[in-house]
Amino acid sequence: NLKNYSYPIYISNGILSDIGLYLRNHLRSGRAIIITDSNVSNIYLQNAEDALSKDGFVVSHLVIKAGEESKNLYTVKRLLEECFDFGLLRDSAVIALGGGVVGDIAGLVAALYMRGIDFIQIPTTLLAQVDSSVGGKVGVNLDEGKNIVGSFYQPKAVFIDTSVLKTLNKREVLGGISEIIKYGIIKDESLLNFFETNLEKILNLDDDMMRYLIKRSCEIKSDVVSKDEKENNIRAILNYGHTIGHALESITRYKKYIHGEAVAIGMYYAGKIALNRKYIDESYLLRIKNLLISCGLPVDYGNIDKYEIVKCIKHDKKNREGKMKFVLPIGYGNAEVFDVLEDEILNVLK
Ligand code: NAD
Ligand code: ZN
């Protein structure tokens, strides 16, 4: 269990069946509501509710339609009203059971309800386990853009059950793998070695492997975030691969790539910019490329127009002042934020 941040992160196979026991130490009252989505509820809701009620919790659930389309203020309003109807009080808790969509929405609901009640995360996608459940960002989308409305709101505890990964589809697993490789490139070269040595086991979701990767990822993210909770500077290195990645997602209207796939392509191309600046050598970039490919992740964006990619990067909310910020690897297992010129980007794109 990880305790280097302000709340504990429990990682274990099958922990979902024991959450009642653990939660007694973290929650102020016995009243809680589980927020989950229409896929996860079919597989894990019963288990979670049983685990809570057998330890004396009075628990109910709210189910949202699975998918990013639910991540909006209408869903938040409905959930807040339902929390009130269930009789949630100031000392009650909201429990997020699901992927990043559920976690982001439920966290916002917990932050807003009666000015903030206890919040627990039970992330069920690999992406949520290694990324969105750690760091305290919660929020929803507007039609105008993703994650425009939100807050920083830390959970009381995070419970990561590696056994739930078995029901996740392959593509969703790879989306999480992409973020883990990102942590290796920006902070920990040994994580890349670990991938190269154990690739087959990892891709088969071997439990020891997954527990190690999730633990290291949460450590790295907690570490970066705790130095810079509100994203001024240091935290920005977590955006490695995301500048071009977001542009690709947005140009293809979030239909062609899942997030981690777009990030994989973005990491490769940001690596090319770093290579041109001689921050890394050619063999290291090739190593990154080969690792991504052998995991089954893309490193190529097909025939998307490079001028459109650059235009999109310029409009990104993180680049409002006209400068284009890029996270670039410098040496092995290290990265920093740099201002990059338009021509440098165009030079590496096709
Ligand atoms: P998601 O929550 O939509 O989950 C993906 C799909 O997997 C959904 O259909 C879901 O129902 C299903 N699913 C979840 N767990 C499952 C399981 N164990 N077995 C079978 N199916 C399961 O997507 P995601 O990739 O987890 O999260 C993406 C969201 O996370 C985005 O909205 C993004 O903005 C957000 N995010 C937030 C942060 C943050 O710091 N708060 C960081 C990264 C991403
Ligand atoms: Zn990401």
pLDDT in tens, 56-101: 999 999 999 999 999 999 999 999 999 999 999 999 999 999 999 9
pLDDT at position 315 is 84
Query: Catalytic residue positions?
Result: 115, 137, 179, 221, 231, 235, 239, 242, 246, 259
pLDDT at 234: 82
CATH class name, domain 170-348 = mainly alpha
CA 300 from chain centre, in angstroms, equals: 22
Query: What are the residue ranges of CATH 1.20.1090.10 in the chain?
Result: 170-348
Distance from the Cα of residue 36 to its chain's centroid: 17
Selection from 242, 246, 233, 228 nearest residue 311 by Cα: 246
Sign of CA dihedral 335, 341, 345, 347: negative
Per-residue pLDDT, 28: 87
* Average pLDDT estimate for 132-146: 95
151 pLDDT above the threshold of 80: yes
Q: Which two tokens stand for residue 25?
A: 């130490």
| Residues of each domain in the chain carrying CATH 3.40.50.1970 | 9-167
Given this model, what pLDDT does residue 338 score? 95
Pocket of ligand 1 (CB under 6 A): 37, 39-40, 43, 66-68, 71, 98-102, 104, 124-125, 127-128, 131-132, 135, 137, 147, 164, 167-168, 172, 175
9-167: CATH, from 3.40.50.2000, 1.10.10.10, 3.20.20.70, 3.40.50.1970: 3.40.50.1970
Mean pLDDT for 229-238 is 78
Cα 293 from chain centre:
21
Write the CA distances from 103 to 36, 100, 121, integer angstroms.
Answer: 9, 5, 7
- Model ipTM value: 0.99
CA of 254 to the centre of ligand 1 (A): 14
Average predicted confidence (pLDDT) for the chain: 95
Each as own residue / partner, the long-range contacts of residues 280-283 (CB below 8 Å, 24 or more positions apart, any chain) are 280/329, 280/330, 280/331, 280/332
